Amino acid sequence: MAMEYFVPTNSAGLASNANTTNPRPGPVATGAGAFWSTGFGYYREVSFTKVKNISLGYTFDNEFLKRIKMSNLRVYVNVLDPFVFTKFDGYDPEWAAANMGINRPAAITTQLGLSAKF
């Protein structure tokens, strides 16, 4: 069987192969090919568009506020990072440049608030 990839020294009867066309991933110091030390082996296209913040609020009018004996009343909602548009197949493309294994799902934060003055 022709093996065109890295095969370490082993006891399974397979001939070792220090192939650098398809090297073992990892630092060169561990015996991996130089291809992996450049970081190019981790390149991924991560173009994306992200909606970072949606904020909606409503301030009640003065006529209503006089009836309920308040000087100000505002209700609002903020949503952080609700949408990401990308072809990236990982979790969050903003984490794609992080070390391998650190990529994580995007956190969507929702905040509901009420501001009142009497």
- pLDDT tens by residue, 4-17: 666 777 778 777 76
More confident residue, 2 or 88: 88
Tens of pLDDT, residues 59-113: 999 999 999 999 999 999 999 999 989 888 777 888 766 665 566 777 899 999 9
List the beta strands (DSSP E) in the chain.
48-59, 72-86, 109-117
- Taken in order 79, 84, 90, 95, the sign of the CA dihedral is negative
**pLDDT at position 31 over 80:** no
pLDDT of residue 101: 53
